[in-house]
Structure 1
Amino acid sequence: MGNLTEARKKKKQSYRGEKTKDPEYKPDKNDETDDECQSDDEAEKNCKKQIVAEKKIIELFEICRHEGCGARVLVDDIQVVYHGQYMRVTQHCASCKNEDFVWETNKLVKGRLSETSLDLIIESQCNGLGTSQMVDFMDGINTRNLSRRTWNMVEQTYLYPSIIEVYRHTENKNRKKCVKKHKGEKITLAGDGRYDSAGFSSFYCLYLVLCCMTNKVLGFQLETKQPGKGSASMEPVAAKKVLGELVTENMRIGMFVSDRCTNIGKVITEIEEKSNTSITLEYDVWHLVKSLLKEIRHVTELQPWMETIKNFLWFSFNKAEGNYERLLEYLRAIPNHLVGVHSFPENRYLKRCPHSSDYSPEDKMFLKPNSRGVNRLNNILSNERMLEALKKATHFKHTGLVEMVNSLVTKYAPKRKITLTILNFYGHRAMTAKVCCALLSHNENINRDIIMGEDGTPKLEIKKQRHGPPRGRVVRVPSTRFWIYWVKKRCMKQVKNGNASPIEGITEEKRMETQKLKDEIYAKHQSRYARQTEVEKEKQDFEEETDNDEDDVLNCFNSSDVYYTGEGEDDFSQDLSSDEDYFF
C-alpha cells in the first residue's frame, strides 16, 4: 500500500507540472507559474462548504468592507441576488467614495448556473438520488435551490449526455483491452435481461453482456416496448443487438452464458451464421439448481434431506468438467445416497460417494428403495426437458455477476418508483444515463484488491444472511469514484461552451399533443370525492325543490284565489252530521 501511495503522489506531481524541480528550468518573471494557478484552483476545489443562515451573512455587510473605512452601512444599501446556491451581495457605503463592494459565494459557470448548483445536480444523479428527493430535501432544511424545471433542464441538456459520453469512451477502451489481452483466444461472455417493473407491463428491457474473464461489462442495450408486442419479446431483440455490436468489433465469442430463456438459443444461432463462428450456449447453474429444488421441495418425504440434496447438486455440477455423462452419473447418485447406497462399481467416473466410509445421517433416517420420495426424485432428475437443459450446464458457469450489476442499476433506477405513467416517465436518455452510472461504478471497482491481515490471510467481515447462519466475506479496498470526476469535467465543459443537447422528444407537435391529452384527461377526471360531492349536490337540489313545492302549496292556500274561504262552514258540518247515519 505504501508503494502504491508514493506512485500516486509522483503521478499527481507530474500532472501539476512542477517545473521548479528541473535544474535547467528558469521561470519568466512576468509570467505566473502553473503551480500558483493550479494551487489556487485546487484550493478552491477542495474548499469545504458550510450551510449558513442568510441573516448572519448580511450582518457582516452592515459594516463597510473597504479597507480603512469601517463605517456603518444601512440595510437599504445592501442588495442581495440569489440564483439557487449562488448568492451575490453588493454593498454601497455612503461615507466613503469607493466603488460598491461585491461579494459572491461561488462562481457562475453559465448564465445564472453556479458551480455549487451544478455540483449538486451531478453528485445527486451520480449517487442514485432522484431529482424529487433532492428538491424535497433542500426544501425540508429551508435551503435555497434551483427550481424543478431548471434542475430537469440541466440534467436533460448537459448531465445525461455527458454521462453517456464518458461511459461510451470507457466502454470502447474495455473492449479493446479485452480483445488485445485475449488475442487469438475465444472469450466467454455472460448476459441477462432486466425489466424496469415487475409483471408484464414493462416499458424498458435492459440487456447486459459481461466478460467472464475481466468481470467488466462490455456492452448493454436498452430496448423499449413496441406497440402490439409483449414485454417478453424485448429481451431477445436487445440481446441480438448488443451481441451483434461485439461481433462486428472482431471479438471472438467462444461461449455465452445465459439463463434458460427459450429465445436466446435462436439469437445465438443467428449470430453464428452472421460471424461464421461456433458459439457454445451455456445455462447458468444457479437457475437450474433453483428449478430442481423448487420441484423437490413439494415432496414431503424429501423434506429432511433438502440440505443434503442441495449440496449434492452443486457438487455434481462442479465436478462435471464439461462432460455430460459425468454430470449424469453424479446426479443419479443422489437417490442412491438417500437410500444408504454409497458405492457404485458399475459407474465410470463416480465409484463411491465423496464422504467418509463411516458416514451416518444425523436426525434423519435413510429412505427405503422404491419409496414414493425416491421414485419422485428419480422422475424429476430424468425428465426429458431437464435432461436437454443439463446438456448445456456442464461447464459450471454463472450469471451471478450480471445479477449483481442489475442490482446496482436498481440504485439509480429503482423499480419501486413508477417508471411509466400516462404523461410522465423516464425518457430513453434519462434511463440510459442512469444505467451508465451503474456500469461506470461497477467497471471501476469490480477488481479491487483484497485487504490482507497481519498473518497474510485475507481479512474477513461477518455478514448476516436473510436465511441461514452468518457467513464471512473478504474485505476489499474502499471503492473509488474517479468516474464522477470525469463526468463533472465533461459536464462543466459542456455548460461553459454552451453545447446543450436538445431535450429528447420535445417538439412543437409533441407539445401540442401532450397539452391536448392533458386537457382531455382533466375534463374527464373525477375522483370518488368529486362524485360524492355531486351526489350531495343533487340531493341538496332535490331537497330545495321539495321545499319550494311545499311553499307553493302553502302560498296557494293563503292566496285570494282559493275557492274555500271558510264561509258556510257551519252548514257543511250540519250536512255531515245528517248523513252520518247513512254511512255508518
Structure 2
Amino acid sequence: GCKHDAVATEGESSSVFAEEPDNSSVSLQSVSVQCYSVMVDATTQTDVDKCDAAVQCSVDVCDSVNTDHIYAAVPAEEGEGGEVVNQGGQSQDLFFSDNEFSEGSQPQDIQSDSEYNASSSEPSQSTQESQTSNDSHKDRLFVVFEEQLKKLLQRCIKGGSLIAMEDMKEMENEGSQLTLELTCVNGCSYRWQSPPTVSSTKGVGNLLLAASVFFSGIHFAKFERFCKNMNLKTISEDTYTTLRKKYVFPAIEKTWAKEQNAVLSSMKSREVVLCGDGRCDSPGHCAKYCTYTFIDVESQKFADFKVISCTQVSSSNAMEIRGFKEALKSIEENGVKVSTISTDRHPQIVKEMRASNPEKHHEFDPWHVAKGVSKKLAIAAKRKECVGLGEWIPSIVNHLWWSAQTCEGNAEVLKEKWVSVIHHVTNRHDWPGNKHYHRCAHEPLDEPTKRTKLWLSPGSEAHKALVRTVKDKRLLKDLDHLTKCIHTTTLEVYHSMYLKYLPKRTHFGYDVMIHASMLAALDHNNNANREQVSVLLTQLSFLSTTV
C-alpha cells in the first residue's frame, strides 16, 4: 500500500478530477475518495498498518491484485519485528520473464498477502504465468488510444494513489508491446506491460502479428503502410523477419510434416492416381522459381510439392521437369505405388514418362487439350472465308470432353467419336466405315432445329479448317492419353488460391517460397472435402458433359 503524507480537506475532495469534464472519466470518478477524517473498520482495509484511512479500497479488489500479479521487488530488508519491507522508491515489475524463475523454486523477493496460504491443489504462480502465456492468444485485442489508456492508469494499482501524467515513463520501442514505468505521488513505482512477455520475444503481440501477417498472405510492406497511416504501434520489418524465421516457419514445417505423413499413409494401401502441374512465379523464360505439385485424385489432397530455383538447373526451361522428378521420387520413397499420372502436354515430361516410367499410365489433362483445340479454331475463325466456324467452337470443345468421358478406356472409340464432329457440323448424323461409332448419339433432330442451325457446307473453307484441326496428327496421337479423362481442375483452382500467399508481382526468397507453399497446401487440404467444393466439382463435371 501507499501512505499519504497529509489528509486533504473536505472541500478539496471534489476537485480531484475537475480537469476531466467529459464522460470518459466517469469510471474514474466512481472510485470513492474520502479525504476527511473518518472512523474506519479494519475489515475494509487491505493492510491497516500500510494504508491510510483516507483511501478506501475494498478487500476483494486488492485481493485480486495481490493474487493475479507478482511484484518483483528489489532485495528486501528486514525491518523491526522481523517484518520484511521494500526499499522505497524502487521499480517493481508486474511481469517476470521465463528465465527469472528456476524450476522447482520460488523467488524470495516476492511480496504476498501474509494471510494467504496457497493450498497444494492450487497451481503455483509460475504455472499460472505459463498458462496465461499459452492462452494469451485467446484474449480479444482492441485498438486503444494512448490518452484513454493513460486515464485508466491514473491511480496506483497497489494502493490507489494518484499518478501524475509526467510520472509515466515509456520504455524503449518494443514493437507492439507498451511498457510504462509508473510512479505514484507517494514514491511507489512499478512497471506495467501489455501485452505480456513470452519466451525471448518482447511481447506476445509481436509474435501474433508476425504469424497473422504471414498466415493471411499479406505482404509486410502493405501492412506496415497500413499501421503507419493510422499511427498504430507495430513491429519493424527486421523484427517480422526474425520472428517469422524463428517461430512461424518451424510451426509451418511441423504442421505440414504431420499433414503430409497422414496423406501419404492413406495412399499406401491402394494404387494411386496422381495429377501434377507446375507453376512458375513469372511467365516466359524469366521465371526464377517453379513449384511442381502432385495431388491425389481420390482424396483431392496434396501429396507433395517441390520448389525449384533457376540456379539449381541449367535454364528456367528445365525447372518443371526437375520438380516433376523430385516430387515423384519423394512420393514413391514413402512406399506409395503410383499407377497413373495426369499432367499437361509438357514435352520433357512426356519423354520422361516414356523413358523412365513405362509401367505407369500417362494421361493428359483434357482441359489443356481442349484449350489447344479452342485456340486453333479461334484463329481460323477470324479469317473472312471461315464465316460460321466460330459459332461451333463451344460445341466442338464440349464434344471433345464428351468423347473422352464416354470412350470407356478405348482409344479407338475415343478417336472415332472425336472425328465424327466433322460430319455432325454438316448436318450428317450417320456414316459407314467406322469400326465402333457409326452415328451420332443424340436424338434425331426435328425440322425446326435443323433449319435454325448454322450448318457448315462440306468442302467450304470453314469446314476444311475444322477438318485440319480435328485430324491433326499430334492431336490424334495425344488422344491416346485421354482415355481415362483425368483432369487437373483442382490444381488449376489451387494455383489461383496460391496467389493469395505468393503473388507473381512480388519477389520472394527461397525460404519464403517453401513455407508459403506449405501454407497454401495446408489451406487446400483443410478445405478439400468441404461440401461446397464437392458440389462445385459435380457441376463442373456436368458442364463438361453438355454438348
User: Contact 2:210/2:240 (CA < 8 Å) preserved in 1?
Assistant: yes
2:341 to 253, 256, 261: 256
Q: Give deviations 1:327-371, integer Å, cap 9, x for gaps.
A: 111112101111111123544433432322134247443222222
With over 3 angstroms needed to count, the CA separation of the structure-2 counterparts of 1:361 and 1:46, relative to structure 1, is: farther
2-structure distance, mates of 1:388, 1:89: 75
Instruction: Please tell me whether residue 108 in structure 1 is matched to residue 197 in structure 2.
Output: yes
Q: Give deviations 1:456-501, integer Å, cap 9, x for gaps.
A: xx799x99xxxxxxx9xxxxxxxxxxxxxxxxxxxxxxxxxxxxxx
Instruction: Please tell me whether residue 440 in structure 1 is matched to residue 522 in structure 2.
Output: yes
Note the C-alpha offset of 1:39.
8.8
With over 3 angstroms needed to count, the CA separation of the structure-2 counterparts of 1:296 and 1:227, relative to structure 1, is: same
With over 3 angstroms needed to count, the CA separation of the structure-2 counterparts of 1:350 and 1:130, relative to structure 1, is: same
Instruction: Please tell me whether residue 85 in structure 1 is matched to residue 164 in structure 2.
Output: no
2-structure distance, mates of 1:221, 1:395: 26
Letter in 1 for 2:524: H
User: Could you say which residue in structure 1 is the equivalent of 2:309?
Assistant: 224
Deviates more, 1:44-53 or 1:117-126: 44-53
User: Contact 1:243/1:271 (CA < 8 Å) preserved in 2?
Assistant: no
With over 3 angstroms needed to count, the CA separation of the structure-2 counterparts of 1:401 and 1:459, relative to structure 1, is: closer
1-structure distance, mates of 2:451, 2:396: 14
1:328 to 411, 415, 438: 415
- TM-score w.r.t. the length of structure 1 is 0.65
User: Could you say which residue in structure 2 is the equivalent of 1:157?
Assistant: 246
With over 3 angstroms needed to count, the CA separation of the structure-2 counterparts of 1:446 and 1:325, relative to structure 1, is: same
Q: Give deviations 1:107-127, integer Å, cap 9, x for gaps.
A: 112345211111111011011
User: Contact 1:161/1:433 (CA < 8 Å) preserved in 2?
Assistant: no
With over 3 angstroms needed to count, the CA separation of the structure-2 counterparts of 1:443 and 1:373, relative to structure 1, is: same
Note the C-alpha offset of 1:270.
5.3
User: Could you say which residue in structure 2 is the equivalent of 1:556?
Assistant: none
Instruction: Please tell me whether residue 286 in structure 1 is matched to residue 367 in structure 2.
Output: yes
Aligned residue runs from structure 1 range 498-517, under 5 A: none
2-structure distance, mates of 1:80, 1:373: 80
1-structure distance, mates of 2:200, 2:272: 50
2-structure distance, mates of 1:234, 1:228: 6
1:75 to 165, 171, 174: 165
Instruction: Please tell me whether residue 193 in structure 1 is matched to residue 278 in structure 2.
Output: yes
Note the C-alpha offset of 1:295.
1.3
User: Could you say which residue in structure 2 is the equivalent of 1:53?
Assistant: 145
Letter in 1 for 2:475: M
2-structure distance, mates of 1:241, 1:451: 29
Note the C-alpha offset of 1:49.
1.2
Deviates more, 1:327-336 or 1:226-235: 226-235
Aligned residue runs from structure 1 range 75-474, under 5 A: 75-81=165-171, 82-95=173-186, 99-179=188-268, 183=269, 185-226=270-311, 229-269=314-354, 271-272=356-357, 278-297=359-378, 298-299=380-381, 300-301=386-387, 302-344=389-431, 346-359=433-446, 360-361=449-450, 363-417=452-506, 419=507, 426-450=508-532
- Secondary structure (helix, strand or coil) at the match of 2:286 reads coil
User: Contact 1:283/1:397 (CA < 8 Å) preserved in 2?
Assistant: yes
Letter in 1 for 2:458: P
- Secondary structure (helix, strand or coil) at the match of 1:190 reads strand
Note the C-alpha offset of 1:44.
4.5
1-structure distance, mates of 2:425, 2:503: 44
Note the C-alpha offset of 1:396.
0.9
Note the C-alpha offset of 1:293.
1.5
With over 3 angstroms needed to count, the CA separation of the structure-2 counterparts of 1:54 and 1:362, relative to structure 1, is: farther
Note the C-alpha offset of 1:230.
2.5
Q: Give deviations 1:214-250, integer Å, cap 9, x for gaps.
A: 1011001111113883211111011111111112222
User: Contact 2:292/2:320 (CA < 8 Å) preserved in 1?
Assistant: yes
Structure with the larger RCO, 1 or 2 (CA within 8 Å, 6+ apart): 1
1-structure distance, mates of 2:235, 2:131: 30
Note the C-alpha offset of 1:406.
1.7
Note the C-alpha offset of 1:85.
1.3
User: Contact 2:411/2:483 (CA < 8 Å) preserved in 1?
Assistant: yes
- Secondary structure (helix, strand or coil) at the match of 2:454 reads coil
2-structure distance, mates of 1:395, 1:317: 7
User: Contact 2:227/2:234 (CA < 8 Å) preserved in 1?
Assistant: yes
1-structure distance, mates of 2:136, 2:251: 23
Letter in 1 for 2:420: A
- TM-score w.r.t. the length of structure 2 is 0.70
Q: Give deviations 1:175-216, integer Å, cap 9, x for gaps.
A: 11221xxx2x32100101110112210110110011111101
Deviates more, 1:326-335 or 1:56-65: 56-65
User: Could you say which residue in structure 2 is the equivalent of 1:15?
Assistant: none
2-structure distance, mates of 1:253, 1:263: 19
User: Contact 2:301/2:525 (CA < 8 Å) preserved in 1?
Assistant: yes
1-structure distance, mates of 2:323, 2:119: 61
Note the C-alpha offset of 1:287.
0.8
- Secondary structure (helix, strand or coil) at the match of 2:522 reads helix
1-structure distance, mates of 2:197, 2:328: 44
Gaps of 5+ in 2: 1-117
- Secondary structure (helix, strand or coil) at the match of 2:486 reads coil
1-structure distance, mates of 2:431, 2:203: 76
Letter in 2 for 1:120: L
Letter in 2 for 1:252: K
User: Contact 1:73/1:93 (CA < 8 Å) preserved in 2?
Assistant: yes
Q: Give deviations 1:437-474, integer Å, cap 9, x for gaps.
A: 1001001111113599xxxxx799x99xxxxxxx9xxx
Deviates more, 1:225-234 or 1:38-47: 38-47
User: Could you say which residue in structure 1 is the equivalent of 2:4?
Assistant: none
Report which of the two structures shows the higher radius of gyration computed on alpha carbons: 1
With over 3 angstroms needed to count, the CA separation of the structure-2 counterparts of 1:202 and 1:309, relative to structure 1, is: same
Instruction: Please tell me whether residue 32 in structure 1 is matched to residue 122 in structure 2.
Output: yes
- Secondary structure (helix, strand or coil) at the match of 2:304 reads strand
User: Could you say which residue in structure 1 is the equivalent of 2:78?
Assistant: none
- Secondary structure (helix, strand or coil) at the match of 1:256 reads strand
Gaps of 5+ in 1: 1-27, 420-425, 453-457, 464-470, 472-584
With over 3 angstroms needed to count, the CA separation of the structure-2 counterparts of 1:84 and 1:331, relative to structure 1, is: same
Letter in 2 for 1:439: A
With over 3 angstroms needed to count, the CA separation of the structure-2 counterparts of 1:435 and 1:282, relative to structure 1, is: same
